[in-house]
Amino acid sequence: METLNGTIGRCGAVRATLIVFAVTCCYAQAQYDLLLQGGHVIDAKNKISATRDVAIRDGKIAAVEARIDPAQALKVVNLRGLYVTPGLVDIHVHVYAGTGERGSYAGDNSVYPDGFTFRAGVTTVADAGSSGWRNFDDFKQHVIDRSKTRVLAFLNIVGHGMRGPKYENDLSDMEAKPAAEMALRHKGLIIGIKTAHYAGPEWTPVEHAVEAGTLADIPVMVDFGTNHKERPLSELVTKKLRPGDIYTHVYSGLRNEQDKSGHVNPALFEARKRGVIFDVGHGGGSFAWRIAVPAIKEGFLPDSISTDLHIGSMNSGLKDMLNVMSKFLVMGLALDDVVARSTWNPAREIHHEELGNLSVGAPADVSVLRLERGEFGFADIYGARLRGDRRLTCELTLRDGKVVYDLNAITRPDWDTLPRDYRQTGDARWDAINPPPARRP
Amino acid sequence: MRIGAGLLALACALGAQPRYDILLKNGHVIDPKNGVNRIMDVAISAGKIARVAQDIAPRDAAKTADVAGLYVTPGLIDIHVHVFLWREPGGEGAQADAFSFRSGVTTMVDAGSSGWRTFPDFRSRIINHAKTRILAFLNIVGAGMGTGKEDDPAEMDAEAAAKTAKANSDVIVGLKSAHYAGPGWESVDAAVKAGELTGLPVMVDFGRINATRNINALFLDKLRPGDIYTHCFSGHREELLDTGKLNPAMEAGRKRGIVFDIGHGAGSFYWYVAVPAYEAHFYPDSISTDLHINSMNAGMKDMTNVMSKLLNLGSPLDEVIRMSTWNPAREIKRPALGSLDPGAEADVAVLRVERGNFGFVDSAGARKSGSQLIVCEMTLRAGKVVWDLNGRASEDWKTFPYQKQSWKH
């Protein structure tokens, strides 16, 4: 491992010269830090699906226009042929890694977010209940505060969070009040309450989660656990959940999402009319073609697309956010619809309306995607394959207006145009990867 | 899915069961150890390479994946990563399994994240539970890397390091000297001493140089043949002279048997060094990533991206594969790895070489265009499919025998 600290400083003079050059030549007139030029913008909130220039200043969207004068920008990136979308919002991940606890989503079953997010165009994730009120502070200190990704969280109704069946089936540790108090203490960071994996026949986990959600005025996300006739899906979505609550793993087929005749359970349509939200939550066990394909044909589309990323899902059918989005493309959804369900829809579901859009003034979280054409295959969690002719890949990701991933170096200068033994080439106003080292006082 | 070996033998005797568990059919096999570079089929049985030949019949295999148009290589070996996740906040380690299989890597060698004091924790929490095969260079600094003790000669206990290396000889494949900023040779000397005590190679990140502590002395006086100089195209240590020519010490070191490794990382690969080195016909022995949380999203990205850089610099594909399989296997003295020998553990990568307009970033953010990109399609570890980008080992969902499956989260 080697960073630039502690390496020899032969290039110090060159570096200083470059800084002076950048400051004197560009600072004066640039109105924008970065201009994304000529891409096809898909912004569901603002109902844009057309070629637009996007200008960024001070980490915020500054202008979205048919043409913006490139002379007004410090850095111009040509994105012709690519799609420019709000930074993707994945509301179902497990990223409470690092506790060392085995067999636990508050531990070794989780992944660290930054290795999966930016390279797949994701700028915001919501952890889906890996932590509860007893260990949220630890999660925050170890992961949330140290990640470059914007990490939000559904708080598990179980005080110990997702530490395994022993904890997650303990009805005595599902207290609404402390969960709601923790959520209110971290308003905006804790964006919902999660109930998950419950194996018993009681409604207690759902009821307490809804109680906590009501106290804290945030939605509940439900992984409905083991299927029980005592607590049928139809009752959950038509009676127990409130409008705005989220049913995840909707294409799992594990809890009668598809009825015996092979059709979507009518209760799901009814619940959708009530305002209950349906989320993908692909994961390692929750997405089957035999459920999803007929559901899409019947017009039962997901409100939000999410991964349920964890160590058991990351290398299987899931892979990453764009792979899951591509699955919906090849099932027939339009790209605009897929992007809406991965940006503006989930942002609204978690009450973060400043995210998931490219409105002027919004944080400049941006994904630049390529729609590849070819022969591709997509596996579900059982290892069954659906062939498709398109796949989304991520070319460029910006978080708060700064480049955090650049697959094909489209923001970078050609090496043979630079001074010999060049060092850092970026500018901290638009670049979070290769900015010159901060000047020391 | 896989049938036990005894049962398999019985079944074969009865003629009822296929001989192979999985057959990779019609791929272009590149197996540098065995000098194979042409279209061949690869059959796998009981986690081992069973046969590499032309025209192996699909009826002999329980499952056949058509890999026509793709390259079939030994599982990639990345001998410079950092995958020691600390228990406490801090550290720069990345999760091995999150980066390995999706880029064809089946073996990772941690390059000195832990020292003899911290190795037991690394082993028990990370190495023993990863699906990736994780081996390790043990840091000569007892406390390990990034601990603020890397410049402290008192931490460089060759005897203690050698003792730990011997006690963990199934995992520890070498010693690491890294980041040393002092004026002397304490770090290198201690690492070489531990290397001599154990018969293991030393990998050097040469830290800070000065008038006497330079690569000429390192290669000709200090290191032994077989020791590994990583970050070889960083330019931080006069690998390239001010004249723009490669330092003659590089060729002299190579003649002595010093091994040159890429170790790309966040700060150790620059086009202005790599291009003149290639023009001087100086190529790396092994390709490695120096994966850590600060390199993963920058110019490095992953193993196949780093390999693509060297492919576009002009190394032929079979040489790039050699630098990523058989060469590193030999460097770490693990000749059972890095090949498709019949009987070898079936670690296999299936790669695609895409043609198009690509760009590759170095550690300064400078771009070099390229026309070829290596993409990982499939990875097998010990005969099991652990990555399958396009579902090539899967069956069509319409005919798939969906059965009642146990519920997984």
Alpha-carbon gap: A234 to the closest alpha carbon of chain B (Å): 20
Alpha-carbon gap: A284 to the closest alpha carbon of chain B (Å): 6
DSSP string of B108-120? EEEEEEEETTTHH
- Which of B228, B299, B218, B189 shows the shortest CA–CA distance to B79? B228
Q: Which residues of B touch A2 (CB under 8 A)?
A: 178-179, 205, 231, 234, 236, 263, 265-268, 290
What pLDDT score does A23 carry? Answer: 43
Average pLDDT over residues B126-151: 97
Q: With contact defined as beta carbons under 8 Å apart, do B298 and A3 qualify?
A: no
Chain segment A278-327, per-residue pLDDT in tens: 999 999 999 999 999 999 999 999 999 999 999 999 999 999 999 999 99
What pLDDT score does B6 carry? Answer: 42
- Nearest by CB to residue B364, choosing from A115, A141, A434, is A434
What pLDDT score does A437 carry? Answer: 58
Q: Is A373 on the interface with B (CB under 8 A)?
A: no
Is residue B277 classed as helix, strand or coil in its secondary structure? helix
Q: Is A9 on the interface with B (CB under 8 A)?
A: no
Is residue A268 classed as helix, strand or coil in its secondary structure? helix
What pLDDT score does A421 carry? Answer: 78
Alpha-carbon gap: B129 to the closest alpha carbon of chain A (Å): 9
Please report, as a single letter, which amino acid is at residue B370. G
Q: Is A22 on the interface with B (CB under 8 A)?
A: no
Q: Which of B230, B350, B367 to mutate to test the interface with A (most CBs of A within 10 A)?
A: B367
What pLDDT score does A28 carry? Answer: 52
- Nearest by CB to residue A385, choosing from B271, B290, B397, is B397
pLDDT of B61 over the 50 cut: yes
- Triad B389, B392, B395: Cα angle to 5°: 120
Asked if B272's CB is within 8 angstroms of A1's CB, the reply is no
* Tokens (6 digits) for B407: 């519920």
Asked if A385's CB is within 8 angstroms of B394's CB, the reply is yes
Q: Report the percentage of chain B scoring pLDDT > 70.
A: 95
Alpha-carbon gap: B385 to the closest alpha carbon of chain A (Å): 9
Asked if A406's CB is within 8 angstroms of B407's CB, the reply is no
Model confidence at B15, pLDDT cuts 50, 70, 90, reads: low
Q: Is A108 on the interface with B (CB under 8 A)?
A: yes
Please give chain A's pLDDT, 441 residues, in tens: 444 333 333 333 343 444 444 444 445 568 999 999 999 999 999 999 999 999 999 999 999 999 999 999 999 999 999 999 999 999 999 999 988 899 999 999 999 999 999 999 999 999 999 999 999 999 999 999 999 999 999 999 999 999 999 999 999 999 999 999 999 999 999 999 999 999 999 999 999 999 999 999 999 999 999 999 999 999 999 999 999 999 999 999 999 999 999 999 999 999 999 999 999 999 999 999 999 999 999 999 999 999 999 999 999 999 999 999 999 999 999 999 999 999 999 999 999 999 999 999 999 999 999 999 999 999 999 999 999 999 999 999 999 999 999 999 999 999 999 998 788 888 999 999 987 655 433
**Pairs across A and B, CB distance < 8 A:** 219
DSSP string of A300-359? ---SB----BSTTTTTTT--SHHHHHHHHHHTT--HHHHHHTTTHHHHHHTT-TTSSS--
What pLDDT score does B88 carry? Answer: 82
What pLDDT score does A420 carry? Answer: 85
What pLDDT score does B89 carry? Answer: 79
Supply the mean pLDDT for chain B.
94
* Chain A residue with minimum CA distance to B91: A1
User: Which residue is associated with the tokens 């459920």?
Assistant: A291
Asked if A415's CB is within 8 angstroms of B271's CB, the reply is yes
- Nearest by CB to residue B297, choosing from A8, A119, A423, is A119
- Nearest by CB to residue A384, choosing from B240, B301, B400, is B400
Asked if B129's CB is within 8 angstroms of A1's CB, the reply is no
What pLDDT score does B8 carry? Answer: 44
Chain segment B79-127, per-residue pLDDT in tens: 999 999 998 878 899 999 999 999 999 999 999 999 999 999 999 999 9
